[in-house]
Copies of this chain bind each other. A is one copy, B any other.
Amino acid sequence: MQITDPTPPTTDASRAAARRQQILAAAAQCFREHGFHGASIAQISKIAGMSAGHIYHYFENKEAIIGAIVAQDLETLLTLTAELRAACNVRNALIERAAEGVLDQLDPASAALKVEIVAEAARNPHVARIVREADEACRRELMVTIRAIRSAAGHDDTPGATADMVEVLAALFEGLLLRTIRNPDLDRRRVAQRIQLAINDLLDQPG
């Protein structure tokens, strides 16, 4: 259960960074299994392989650990949407990457943490701020991407219409997080195909 460091770094700075990452990995596991409030510093410290008190050398308090976990999780989403925008044939890229993204969303372990993050955002202003800033950045990226696809197909949408399409696309994706928890038996590959069709239709909707 304990996370051991395979190659301990030599310099102090990188050693500290590794120790921080070790705590975050342990915290992510605990938060996934017990939620932000159900997980205790004692549990996290046991899995991270250090004393409870020592964690406070690397994080000011539990809230700071939660913030770091949330920021870390959202960063992957941000790089993903940015990558999408950079693809050459954007429409095919979007739809092909979608299947991959859908399967990611359908992984129950990561879904549990992502849903926990949004639940916490609904009541914790600090987490809400991190989540909403990341979401705004993602939406901006997606709006540019979708606008490019749509205007290539001859649609000249208002910003509002584009924003709405982004919302529907995001709802579709994020909804999978809830689906995989509510119905763990769903057929992941087939649902991914079905989502591809839905995205295709969405991109052809009237403005």
Question: Residues on A close to B: CB < 8 A?
Answer: 32-38, 108, 111-112, 115-116, 118-123, 128, 131-132, 135-136, 139, 160, 163-165, 167-168, 170-179, 181-184, 186-187, 190-191, 193-195, 197-198, 201-202, 205-206
A119 interface neighbour in B115, B136, B160, B191, Cβ under 8 Å: B115
Instruction: Assess the B119–A119 pair: CB atoms within 8 A.
Output: yes
Asked if B164 and A187 sit within 8 Å, CB to CB, the answer is yes
Q: How far is the CA of A139 from the CA of B206 in the complex (A)?
A: 30
Nearest chain B CB to A125's CB is how many angstroms away? Answer: 12
When distances are taken between beta carbons in the complex, the residues of chain B under 8 Å from A206 are: 197
Question: Which residue of A34, A115, A160, A176 has the most chain B CB atoms within 10 A of its CB atom?
Answer: A115
Q: Kindly list chain B residues whose C-beta atoms are within 8 Å of the C-beta of A173.
A: 175
Question: Which residues of B have CB within 8 Å of A193?
Answer: 164
Q: A192 to nearest B CB, angstroms?
A: 9
A171 near B168 with CB under 8 A, answer: no
Residues of B within 8 A of A201 (CB): 198, 201-202, 205
Within 8 Å CB of A170, what residues of B? Answer: 175, 179, 182
